[in-house]
Amino acid sequence: MAGGALAELAKRRGFFFGANGAYGGTAGFYTFGPQGAALKRNVEEAWRDRFTRKEGNREIEAPTVMPEAVFEASGHLDGFDDMLVECGECGESSRADHLVEDATDFEDAESLSGGAVEDLIHEHDVACPSCGVALAGRDVENFNLMFATDIGPGDAHPGYLRPETAQGIFVEFPRLKEYARGSLPFGITQIGPAYRNEISPRGGLLRLREFTQAELEQFIDPETDEPPLDRVADVDVRLYPADEQAAADGEYRDTTVGEAVADGTIGSAWVGYYLGVAREWYERVGVDMDRFRFRQHLAGERAHYAADCWDAESEVGGDWIEIAGFAYRGDYDLSKHGEHGDDAFTVFKRYDEPKTVERATVDPDMSVLGPEFGGDAAAVADALETLAGRDPGAFEGETVTVEIGEGDDAETHEVDADVANFAVEETTENGEHITPHVVEPSFGVGRTVQTLLAHAYETDEVDGEERTYLALEPEVAPRDAAVFPLVTNDDRLVELATRVADDLRAAGLSVAYDDSGSIGRRYRRQDEVGTPFCVTVDRDGIEGDGPETVTVRERDSAAQVRVPVGELAAELATLRAGGEFVSLSERYDSVETDVETTTN
């Protein structure tokens, strides 16, 4: 489906549209309309079902604004940048790596240095997309994507809108580990908004300044915890490894999760496990598996702390877009917050049996250090303690040399060994404090929504007329069903249709009621927004001595069966949960009708 057709459908049928249109619009911000908001919520709930409930994880909801210190610790203030180039003629700022990708066959300019991108801009005569003036010779600069704000009156407490939901999980780890009773592994999920001040938003929901993420942070003991890989070992995956991307004739590797982990294509068993889980989930919600792949990050793309990274990508409008990322983040995040924060970002790992170990200790005589070193005495004592743990042999001579301070301010001091009171003691330990490693699957909800709409867009012919419909899975479709009276000039049909709609809503189903226009046009309207089932109340269903019945029409096939009203809610709930419409055809009478073209 072409991008223009998708954008037109999305706006016309209330899926999504540019925000603040009455004031000229604001690039990078979109409003989800009634259909889109429902579809988005259903995608989020399907993700929550798979990655929270079925994995036995816990979900939190952290603030979207966090103090500056959080992002100093995480590294976002120093390294959360995109490449910007500014036109010397019109002043328009553009994402430099995207301009290179659009003008060349280079797919991953983001992995290059700024200098390399400048060279490509010159080599390929890349021009400003706004005014057409050549950008050769313009500097490519780093632009930090963080949205800044102030917390409270004045500017004494700077803060930032979070660029990812993950930091809210990492910051709260000291308390979250208590809820998990300090036992690894455990996972924490979060679904919510994130904010990035994109240089040049584009592509509908693909690159926004406000977007929704669904993230899981899996905390593990890297020495002992293994994923339940057998659950997904046989899941088929299409992989695009880094070495194949670099090769002139690189190809996909169609394999299974188990084989890819065993042969080292996927470097982490935990990452492999979540690739398998994600592949099954994407198929469940309706992503076309012929237009889906996992692409490994190139060396220049991968964060320095990440041992292995893969993106789930879908093909939309002829382009491959990232819709999720899977990273083995090691202990980077918790270690950084442990260094900067005022709490413990470790867990206590209990040994199977107590261990007797030798520990080097010092007990500096402060009555000597105080007069000798004055204000530096406490720092000298701390340095002695650190040195004892790192190099006990340093205390074998008559004096001990320690260094306090850093850089140009560093000072060296000598301390008499007997003043340090060095000793080696035997102690019995029941365990040790370790910093967990983190495995992170991170999903873009809006990008998933756009992928589902693009992959669900279908056209066919019904009763000699061309039809456009969205073949959305019932689980994520904005509505579960629509209810129509066949005609509106029969009060009996209108009364029963109204009652049926109310009963289905009371049963927890999302139902539309439509009595406007011909029945065929009503079907077409519901087909175009992806409603999987339409319920029609006709005279055949209310006449006779038997129970009241209605016809249930399946969207994709336009086939219909007659179902008793008393069984309708249960049958639709079963279909929404993944049941097959063919099972209704086997248990209920099929309906041959020309109502698709009947008028009131």
CATH 3.30.40.230 fits 81-144, yes or no: yes
At 223, list the tokens.
Answer: 């020495």
Comparing 139 with 499, which gets the higher pLDDT?
Answer: 499
At 270-310, the pLDDT tens digits run 999 999 999 999 999 999 999 999 999 988 777 766 778 99
Looking at residue 598, what is its pLDDT? Answer: 44
Model confidence at 415: pLDDT above 50: yes
Query: Does 528 have pLDDT greater than 90?
Result: yes
Q: What is the pLDDT of residue 299?
A: 81
May I ask the CATH architecture of the domain 1-66+146-229+277-346+435-460?
2-Layer Sandwich (3.30)
How many angstroms separate the CA atoms of 153 and 31, rounded?
30
Residues 233-249 have pLDDT tens digits of 999 999 999 999 989 89
The whole-number average pLDDT for the span 374-393 is: 90
Rounded mean pLDDT, 203-208 = 87
pTM, to two decimals: 0.85
When pLDDT is averaged across residues 429-450 and rounded to a whole number, the result is 94
pLDDT band at 596 (very low <50, low <70, confident <90, very high): low
What is d(CA 128, CA 130) in angstroms, rounded to the nearest whole number? Answer: 5
What is the structure's pLDDT at 599?
A: 39
Residue 597 pLDDT more than 80?
no
Of the given ranges (37-41, 64-68, 123-127, 446-450), which has the lowest mean pLDDT?
Answer: 123-127
DSSP 373-422: HGGGHHHHHHHHHHHHHH-GGGGSSSEEEEEES-GGG-EEEEEEHHHHT-
C-alpha to C-alpha distance for 103 and 201, rounded to whole angstroms = 18
Read off the pLDDT of each residue in 162-179 and give the average, rounded to a whole number. 95
Average pLDDT estimate for 210-219: 97
What is the radius of gyration, based on Cα positions, of the chain? 31
Residue range 389-418: mean pLDDT, rounded: 87
Enter the tokens of residue 32.
């989800």
Q: Which amino acid is at 326?
A: F
The mean pLDDT of 103-132, rounded to a whole number, is 85
144 — pLDDT class (breaks 50, 70, 90) = confident
Supply the CATH classification number for the domain 479-597. 3.40.50.800
Residue 186 near residue 172 (C-beta atoms within 8 A): no
Tell which wins on pLDDT, 300 or 487. 487
C-alpha to C-alpha distance for 132 and 89, rounded to whole angstroms: 9
Kindly tell me if the per-residue pLDDT of 577 is higher than 70: yes
The whole-chain average pLDDT of the chain stands at 91
Q: How far apart are CA 170 and CA 167, in angstroms?
A: 5
- Look at residue 556 and give its three-state secondary structure: coil
The helix/strand/coil state of 227 is coil
Residue 24, pLDDT > 80, answer yes
Calpha distance 332→273 (Å, rounded) = 21
**Do residues 519 and 550 touch, judged by C-beta distance below 8 A?**
no
Residue 410 has pLDDT above 80, yes or no: yes
Give residue 14's pLDDT: 94
SS3 label, residue 328: strand
The two beta strands, 399-404 and 140-144, are unpaired
Q: Where are the domains of the chain?
A: 1-66+146-229+277-346+435-460, 81-144, 357-424, 479-597
